[in-house]
Chains A and B, each alone.
Chain A
Amino acid sequence: MNPVDKRRREFLGGAAALAGAMIAPGVFLYDYAQAKAPGEPASGKVRWGMLVDTTKCESGCNDCVVACNTEHGLPEATRATDAQWIRKVELKDLRSGKAISAPVMCQHCAEPPCVDVCPTGASFKREDGIVLVDRHTCIGCRYCMMACPYNARSFVHEPTTGQKPDVPRGKGCVESCTLCVHKVDRGGTPSCVEACAAAGHEAILFGDLNDPQSEISRRIASVATTQLRADLRTDNGVRYRGL
C-alpha cells in the first residue's frame, strides 16, 4: 500500500468513526464494514469471514454448491479433474457415530500456506482477508494445491466456455472460492450464503470478523466455534459450529 492511500484510509476511518460518534452513540446507521464506497480499495480494517453452523446444515442438501456453480459459471463436477470451489462433506463421528454435514470451501486463512508457497505471488491475500488467485500471474505449477490443508483449490484442466463477466477463468490456472469478491465489493453477500438462507437453513453466516457489532462476531462470541485444522494456526476466516 502506498503511503498516500494509507493516510487517506486512516483519515477516512477516523472521519467515519467521528461521524458515527457524533450522530448518536450506540446507534449505527449502517454496518461499518459494509461501508466500502465504490472505487475504494479493500480495507485492512475489515476481515471478511463466514460461520458455518453444522447444526443447521442439512445432510444431502446441495444448494450452496449449485449456487456457487451458477454464480461462477462452473460446470457440474462429475470427474476428479472438474473444479469444485465448495463441496458438501458428510462426517461421521468415529466414536459416537453422530452424523454431521457441512460445506467446505477456501478457509480464507490469515496465514495462508498457498500464498506462502506461490512462486510468482499470484496467490495473494487481500487487505480484507479474502484469499485469491491472480490468474494473470498464475503459471499453473499447482504448488498451492499441494500446500492447501483443506483441499480447497482446483486446477482448470480443460479449455473453458461460458465464463461469467465477473468471473474470468481459463485453462492452466488454479482457482478457488473467492468469497464472491465481485459481489462483496458491491456490498453483496456470497451466493452460497444466499442459497442456504433461501433453502430455509441459514447455516452459513457472512460478515466482518473485525467488527465486534457484526452478527457473525456476536455469534462467535456467544456459541462455541472451531476452525478446521486449528493446530496449523492458519487462523481461518471460515469458522464452524458443532464440529
Chain B
Amino acid sequence: MDETRRPAAAARAFWTLAAAGAAVLALALGAAHYMELHGHVVTGMSNQVVWGLPHVFAIFLIVAASGALNVASIASVFGEADYKPLSPLSVLLTVALLAGGLLVLVLDLGRPERLVVAATHYNFRSIFAWNMILYNGLFAICALYLWALLERRLAPLAKPVGLAAFAWRVILTTGTGSIFGFLVARQAYASGVIAPLFIALSLAWGLAAFHLAQAFFARLAGEAMDAAMLVRVRRLLGIFVVAALYFVAVHHLTNLYWAKQAAFERFILVGGAPYPALFWIGFVGLGSLVPLALLFHPRFAGARATSVAAALVALGAFAFLYVFIIGGQVFPLEIFPGYEARSAFHDGRVGSYAPSLPEFLLGTGGLAAAFLVALVGARALPILPAAAPAIPAAAAK
C-alpha cells in the first residue's frame, strides 16, 4: 500500500464511520423523543410486558461491557503478559458498551428527565439502586485503569486498579443478574443461579465483542491479527460459551424438577411460539453450538471464522435475552394455584408483545453509541497496539 496515502485514507474511513454511527444514534434520540412525547403507548410494551426490546439491547450491552474487560483482567490480574498490549482496547470497550447500555436504559424510563432524582434518592434495599452505583463506579475505575495503562508514570497502578476493576465487574454482573434473580414472584426468574449465569454470559458476550472490535480495528488499519493470540482467544471464547450453556442448563433443569415450574418450562422450551424456536435455534444452535464448532474444529482456524463465531455468539445473546426477558413476562403470573383464572388484566392468559420501530431504533442507538465511543476513543488515545510502533504486521510476528 502507498504509505503516504494511508493517514488520509484512515481519516476518511474514520469520519465516514463516525458519521454513520452518529446517524444511527440521532435516529435513536429521535425515537426516544417520540416515545417521551407520546408515552410508551407507541411501543409494544404494556402492563404485562413492562420491559421490552430496549431492555434486550441494554442488558446485552451492560453484560457484554463487564465481559469486555476479560482481556485486561487476564493481563493484569492473571499476569499473562501477552495480553497486555490489548488491555487498553479491552478497557475502552467496557466503557463504550456500558455507556451504550445505560443510554438505552435511561431513555426508556417513563420519566427520563428525572435522572437527577435517581441520582439523589437511593433505596438501599433495591438491587437496582445498587446497580446504579456499580455502573457509575465501573466508569470511574475504568477511567483510572485506562490512565494507568496509557501513562507510563502510573504503570505501577495498573495491577491494583486492574484487580479492583476485576472484582468490581464480577460484583456488577452479579448485580445485573440479581435484578432478575431477586424477583421472587416471577416463575421465569427468582433463582440465585441467574447471577453466576449472567457472569458466564458476560464472559462469552464480552470476549465476542472484544474480538469483533479487535478484528474491526485491525481491518481498519489494514493489518493482520496476531495468529498466536487468535488461537488463545478462540479457545477462551469456546470455554466461555460452554460455561454459559452449563448455567443455562442448570437453571432449566432445576425448574424442570419442580412441579410448580412445569407449565412455565413447557411454555418456554416447547409450546410457546416464538420463544422455544428462539431459544433452541437462536441461542443453543446458532448462538452456541455452531460457534463452538467454528472455534474448536481445526478446519475453521482463521480470523474470519473466529469473527463469524463471535458474531453468532452476539446474535445468540439477543435470542437468549429476548426469550429470557420477554418470554419470562408474557407467561402469566400464577396468583391462584389450583385454579384456572381469567380477567381483563392478563390473568391466566399468555401475553403478546410486538416490538415497534421506535423501541428498535432506541436499542440500535445503544449499539451506535458504544460504537462511537470505541471509535473516537481509539482515534484520540493510543489504544491500539498497532498504532504505536509502525512495524508491518509480518515483521511484528
Contacts and interface: CB of A to CB of B under 8 A. Distances in A.
Interface residues of A, number: 56
B345 A119 contact: no
A118 interface: yes
A92 B110 contact: no
Contacts of B333: 149-151
Contact of A90 (B38, B47, B129, B343): B343
Interface in A68-85: 77, 79-84
A40 interface: no
B129 A87 contact: no
A87 B349 CA distance: 14
Interface residues of B, number: 50
A120 B117 contact: yes
Contacts of B345: 77, 84, 87, 151
Nearest to B49: A80
A203 interface: no
Contacts of A243: 336
A229 interface: yes
Contact of B118 (A80, A83, A119, A159): A119
Contacts of B341: 89-91
A95 to B, nearest CB: 7
Contacts of B340: 91-92, 94
Interface stretch (A133-141, A189-197, A211-219): A133-141
Given A119-B118, A149-B185, A139 B123 contact: no
B132 A119 contact: yes
B contact face: mostly helix, strand, loop, or mixed = loop
Nearest to A136: B117
A119 B335 contact: no
A146 B51 contact: yes
Contacts of A113: 183-185
Contacts of A156: 39, 110
Contact of B47 (A81, A88, A147): A81
B122 A117 contact: no
14 contacts: A88-B343, A91-B336, A93-B339, A94-B339, A113-B185, A118-B123, A119-B132, A121-B121, A121-B123, A138-B111, A140-B111, A151-B333, A156-B110, A229-B185
Given A91-B340, A119-B123, 17 more contacts: A80-B351, A89-B341, A89-B343, A90-B343, A100-B339, A104-B343, A117-B126, A120-B123, A142-B51, A147-B184, A149-B185, A154-B47, A157-B45, A172-B110, A228-B335, A229-B185, A229-B335
Interface of B: 36, 38-41, 45-48, 50-51, 109-112, 114-115, 117-118, 121-123, 125-129, 132, 179, 182-186, 329, 333, 335-336, 338-347, 351-352
